[in-house]
Structure 1
Amino acid sequence: MQQMILIVDDNRSNIKIAQTILENEYRVGAALSGKKALQFLTQAIPDLILLDISMPEMSGFEVMEELKLREEWKDIPVIFLTANVEPQIEAKCFKMGAVDFIPKPFVPEVIKNRINRTLELQTYRKNLEEAVKNQSQKILQQTEELARKQQELMAIQQEVIISMANLIEGRDDSTGGHIKRTSQYVELIARALRSDGKFNDILSDEYIENLCKAAPMHDIGKICISDIILKKPGGLTEAEFDIMKQHAEQGGNVISSTMGKIEKKEFIDIAFDIATYHHEKWNGNGYPHGLKEEKIPLSARIMAVADVFDALVSKRCYKEAMDSEEAFRIIQESSGSHFDPEIAKVFIELRQSIEEILKNDTSI
């Protein structure tokens, strides 16, 4: 069955244009006001809502507030429609919980691409949750095969983690090598720290295993950030950067809601800390909470060095790749300000091994 899209706009011409663009691929419903949209939802639940912001009687933002109050409506993805593309409006759209926004007047390819991408991600997430739920139920029903099933589930989960991480990295024009390289850096750092007698009360074999398994999820919160921002060439505005920074806390939320009930607490804690706090800085000037020094979880402090270094040596839509010598110099200069000085020192001492990883990676 075709997926259903509900278009909410007080302008009949806008609805007609959107219907013409979408009707060959989707079932399309329409409402000329916010109140009529809410009435529509009592009869049918669409897969996606295209919601105009500026409407009489009830604005799109007011409709969004109503959606969040009903359990059966709160998870419907919403894309706002607006002729106002000012950064503060964009920021409010995402703050209200929208997954994206589409500017007016409509461009057929833009509206189709945004909708297709949103529905693909929504389907991917639902399938992931359903797959994990089904697998967990099977394990509970087959206790005599628990050990074997647990190993199978862990392998499936790790494949899902890598697949999701690669999907997200691909959205901001990364090749996917970033995930593999940063995981390798993280393992090298953790094992070198333990060899040096540092953080031995934390760096057990289980901790390092969970750390390496969780590292690919550090930017999973970007699933909640618009492509407009992720793929923007050049620098972000202050409002856009404020939106981008939300990916840290969003990442922790995704991990807790998606995997919190089926993974071990030790792994979830590390994955949550990496996703949420890997942009914190040793001097307290990072985000999302401005944590300082050892108040930043060790896993996030390790991830921060690995992530920044690899970002520096990688080509992105907004910059060219930096040579490794310059990147190592930046890590050294940022020791004690951005990075934990003990971790930065160990990373620099690992330069030969890091260079070997870069040399052997054909994706750069």
Structure 2
Amino acid sequence: MKHILMVDDVTTNLKSAAEVLQPFYHLSMAKSGKQALNFLKKNRPDLILLDIMMPEMDGYETMEQIKLNPRTANIPIIFLTADTERESEIRGMKMGAMDFITKPFESEAMLGRIEKVLQMEDMRRNILSSAKKDLLTDLWKPEYLEPEIDSQLKHISDSGATFLLVDFDDFREVAANAHSSNADGIIIRFAESLKTLAPTESVLGRIGRDRFLVFIPYGLNEIELLGLCNDIRDIAIKEANLASSADETLTASIAITLAPQHGTDYDTLLRKLDMAMYYIKQTGKDQIHVYRGV
């Protein structure tokens, strides 16, 4: 079910919209621009319905802040307005609004405009995804990871961000003893498991035959981080082994860097991930290691 955030300072407007939208969409509500921006720090809806006339921070100001953040900049926005002036519509469209819905709401027109915008957004995402994603795994290609992650690092919250490098141990030997299609099957099954295990809003990439990046745009506590790493090693590797016809059992090592403690850009954090992974490979493999300057 698609997720819509509605922002309106008038309670009766929120209630009337909820009656129309809740049977079809997961609906979240905010009563001010500030509330909406706080909500967006931890949530990414598929669409924002944004009232123009609000006190303190109006819809235009709220939209400017949304567009400045790379994590939220591409969320489609429909303005809600009782203003029928052409100038308001022109201003909104120039700022990037996808459409307008006038108040009071007419249910069929409202649903139709929302469905049209969501369909357009799905098409846009599919086109972008096909260019940026690895054909075998549907994970981000290496050349697109750096600009995407660097843009997100500029807007991380006080909790920081988490970066994992997952590397199969001795994959070359296992793949050499497996049929080529089975070797690809190992990669595919692992990638599918990784998608289900990774936290919300993670950026997942494949940067080598058997090397995977997980970027989480917020910090995890020690228990959460250890739990995620153990899940990746235990569950995902079991899935990968189901696709292998080789006698060897695959294991995986995981290196970890944290932002901003270990760096504030993709290149620095990746370099330190490689250093942490080198340490693992020299000390026995099949381990989890946080970068500590070694």
Q: TM-score, normalised by structure 2?
A: 0.45
User: 1 or 2, which has the higher strand percentage?
Assistant: 2
Q: TM-score, normalised by structure 1?
A: 0.37
Structure number with greater CO (CA < 8 Å, separation at least 6) is 2
